[in-house]
């Protein structure tokens, strides 16, 4: 499918191709729907096989970000930057160049962290653009901690929906102990959860063992016999080969685009596994970053609790209408967007001269 066809299909406003030859920067900035004149989305630095794979990732992620904004009550739309890591020659220079391109959008796009984007990248990028949420710099806490807090409320809601009791009664398997996986594991341990986890980095495994977590081989984590599975690494891990191996009752991903394809939501449902859509439960950092951007407020714990309420709403609609939880979440988001559009149309018509 051609780029413009992808944009039309998903409803994108624009896609910006970015390159800087001296630094080796090659990136795509995808702007989905600039609701209220602004969009939010992270900067992902990743190893893509080719440019088309990168831009499709940007399109899918930014589309999901709009749904995330709508369900989280954020007055803004979705966006995403993807940087082709293998082409970078000078990383600091590449980040400075990227910051200039983001700044040229004059606040339509407000960036944050994503996979592969480091604290050093954040510091350098902020030198050339003001439109960056600076997590963990002494004001906002690390983005992963905010996401983990919101995810905990989503997991609690899913457990209640399935009649599995509270956190202290269950086991959770976490795939990846990175920026979100580790703080989520810490929260779950404090709540009395039996935690299993995998990771590719020795220092994270050492921490996990010291913390009392049962370490599992990465190849076995998806098939771990646990009540809840939390994919917390990269997307696309739930597919035709992995889903039949699952032994959990709930899949609650904090990674983006965990399903390789939307049809896999139906496969999970047929297998009797409750799927909590990632864009419903992983909006904690978005809520804190966008909230600080708008009001300079630091404490958003009450709003993060609402993630659990939204999760319950999605799961209840799925059960009531006999549809997948993914479809339920999308229906709620689209309904909210349609009402917003209708309200804007009415307001515009009322301003026309009679």
Encode pLDDT of 14-45 as tens digits.
999 999 999 999 999 999 999 999 999 999 99
Residue 271 annotated among the catalytic residues of the structure: no
pLDDT at 343 over 80: no
CATH number, domain containing residue 47: 3.40.50.10860
| Domain residue limits at 229 | 143-333
* 161 shares a domain with 99: no
Spatial separation of the C-alpha atoms in residues 161 and 320, rounded to whole Å: 13
* 84 shares a domain with 183: no
* 273 shares a domain with 236: yes
pLDDT at 179 over 90: yes
E strands within the chain? 14-20, 25-31, 39-46, 77-84, 109-113, 171-175, 194-198, 214-215, 228-231, 250-251, 274-275
Spatial separation of the C-alpha atoms in residues 47 and 31, rounded to whole Å: 21
Are the C-beta atoms of 282 and 254 separated by less than 8 Å? yes
CATH number, domain containing residue 260: 3.40.50.720
Phi, psi of 189 (to 5 degrees): -60, -45
| Residue environment code for 290-329, b if the CB has 16+ CB neighbours within 10 A, otherwise e | bbbbeeeeeebeebbebbbebbbbbbebbeeeebbbbbbb
* 110 shares a domain with 166: no
The pTM (predicted TM-score) of the whole model is 0.92
Domain assignment of residue 350, yes or no: no
Domain assignment of residue 132, yes or no: no
Domain assignment of residue 189, yes or no: yes
* 259 shares a domain with 156: yes
Between helices 301-321 and 325-350, what is the axis angle to 10°?
110
Catalytic residue among 80, 245, 271, 339: 80
Percentage of the chain lying above the pLDDT 70 cut:
97
* 160 shares a domain with 62: no
For residue 218, give the nearest of 252, 181, 193 by alpha carbon.
181
Spatial separation of the C-alpha atoms in residues 52 and 65, rounded to whole Å: 20
Encode pLDDT of 60-115 as tens digits.
999 999 999 999 999 999 999 999 999 999 999 999 999 999 999 999 999 999 99
- pLDDT for position 345: 52
Domain assignment of residue 299, yes or no: yes
* 314 shares a domain with 174: yes
Domain assignment of residue 347, yes or no: no
- pLDDT for position 353: 46
* 244 shares a domain with 121: no
């Amino acid at each position: 499918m051609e780029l413009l066809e992808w944009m039309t299909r998903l409803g994108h406003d624009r896609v910006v191709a970015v390159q800087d030859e001296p630094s080796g920067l090659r990136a795509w900035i995808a702007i989905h729907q600039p609701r209220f004149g602004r969009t939010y989305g992270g900067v992902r630095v990743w190893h893509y096989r080719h440019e088309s794979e990168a831009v499709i990732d940007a399109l899918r992620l930014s589309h999901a970000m709009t749904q995330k904004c709508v369900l989280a009550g954020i007055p803004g739309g979705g966006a995403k930057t993807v940087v082709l890591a293998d082409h970078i020659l000078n990383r600091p220079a590449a980040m400075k160049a990227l910051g200039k391109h983001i700044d040229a959008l004059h606040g339509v796009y407000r960036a944050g962290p994503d996979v592969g984007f480091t604290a050093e990248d954040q510091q350098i990028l902020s030198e050339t653009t003001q439109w960056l949420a600076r997590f963990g710099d002494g004001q906002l806490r690390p983005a992963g901690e905010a996401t983990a807090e919101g995810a905990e409320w989503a997991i609690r809601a899913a457990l209640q929906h399935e009649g599995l009791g509270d956190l202290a009664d269950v086991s959770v398997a976490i795939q990846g102990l990175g920026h979100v996986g580790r703080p989520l594991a810490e929260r779950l341990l404090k709540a009395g959860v039996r935690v299993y986890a995998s990771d590719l980095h020795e220092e994270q495994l050492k921490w996990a063992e010291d913390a009392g977590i049962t370490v599992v081989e990465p190849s076995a984590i998806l098939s771990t016999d646990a009540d809840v599975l939390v994919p917390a690494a990269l997307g696309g891990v739930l597919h035709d080969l992995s889903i039949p191996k699952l032994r959990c009752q709930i899949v609650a991903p904090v990674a983006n685009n965990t399903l390789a394809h939307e049809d896999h939501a139906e496969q999970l449902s047929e297998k009797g596994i409750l799927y909590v859509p990632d864009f419903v439960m992983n909006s904690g950092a978005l809520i804190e970053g966008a909230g600080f951007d708008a009001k300079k407020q630091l404490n958003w714990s009450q709003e993060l609790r609402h993630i659990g309420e939204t999760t319950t709403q999605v799961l209840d609609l799925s059960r009531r209408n006999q549809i997948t939880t993914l479809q339920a979440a999308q229906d709620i988001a689209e309904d909210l967007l349609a009402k917003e559009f209708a309200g804007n149309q009415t307001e515009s018509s009322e301003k026309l001269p009679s």
